[in-house]
Amino acid sequence: MSVTPAKPVLVSDAAVQRPSREQALEAVRTLIAWAGDNPDRPGLIDTPKRVVDAYGEWFDGYEADAAKELSRTFEDVTGYDDMVILREIEVESHCEHHLAPFLGKAYVAYVPTDKVVGISKIARVVEIYAKRLQTQETLTKQITEALQDSLNPQGIAILIDAEHQCMTTRGVHHKHVSTITTSFTGVFETNLALQERFIRLSQSR
């Protein structure tokens, strides 16, 4: 069987050669056999295809460019100088240590200087970085840096609240424990009243 090599993909500033689909399918079959089951039995024979397709969806953030999503901005803010906040953006990511999901919500705010960006683009940036193998701390930092580089706002506030399946379904087996990470820059870092208002708005229902 001929194997068509895939294009290199940029991961952590290093180009790696992505395996072919055929190689990925065989890897899933190997893991099924290692778990103790028969990858050729009727209930599992199509599982490698489904898993590889799911990986393509779960990790399509590697194919996306956050800077491109934020490149179209609007400079007419008509004097608006308060925070713009998006609440409860879905976070669906995978822990880079165990490949287990972590699921939660992101709250993102910024105070514009002379330009704003479409609100859907902010949600898309969260999604791009979430759909990569991640730690929650790195995810929080990446969203902050992307917004800073593209918008140069007066300040940014990020809060992510997520439950990690690597903690709830293995290891210590503690359910309903959520992890909260935050990032504050500019006016959100220096103005505690503004920071507290962001947190209060994030927690309100």
Per-residue model confidence as pLDDT tens for the chain (205 residues): 333 444 445 555 566 788 999 999 999 999 999 999 999 999 999 999 999 999 999 999 999 999 999 999 988 777 888 999 999 999 999 999 999 999 999 999 999 998 899 999 999 999 999 999 999 999 999 999 999 999 999 999 999 999 988 877 777 777 888 999 999 999 999 999 999 999 999 987 6
- The catalytic residue among 127, 142, 154, 164 is 164
The yes-or-no answer on residue 165 being catalytic is no
SS3 content of the chain, % helix, strand, coil (to 5): 40, 25, 30
In a domain, 148, yes or no: yes
In a domain, 64, yes or no: no
In a domain, 66, yes or no: no
- The catalytic residue among 97, 137, 196, 203 is 97
pLDDT value of position 13: 53
The yes-or-no answer on residue 164 being catalytic is yes
pLDDT value of position 135: 96
**Domain at 34, CATH number:** 1.10.286.10
Residue type, 190: T
Segment 96-143, tens digit of pLDDT: 999 999 999 999 999 999 889 999 999 999 999 999 999 999 999 999
Domain coverage including residue 54: 8-58
Average pLDDT over the chain, rounded to an integer: 90
Distances in whole angstroms, Cα of residue 169 to Cα of each of 104, 118, 161, 180: 16, 38, 18, 19
**Domain at 160, CATH number:** 3.30.1130.10
Are 82 and 120 in the same domain? yes
- The catalytic residue among 26, 92, 166, 189 is 166
In a domain, 63, yes or no: no
Are 52 and 77 in the same domain? no
The yes-or-no answer on residue 92 being catalytic is no
Report how many domains make up the chain: 2
Percentage of the chain beyond pLDDT 90 is 78
The yes-or-no answer on residue 174 being catalytic is no
Q: What number of H helices and E strands is found in the chain?
A: 8, 9
H or E segment at 157?
strand 155-164
In a domain, 133, yes or no: yes
Q: Are 162 and 91 in contact (CB under 8 A)?
A: yes
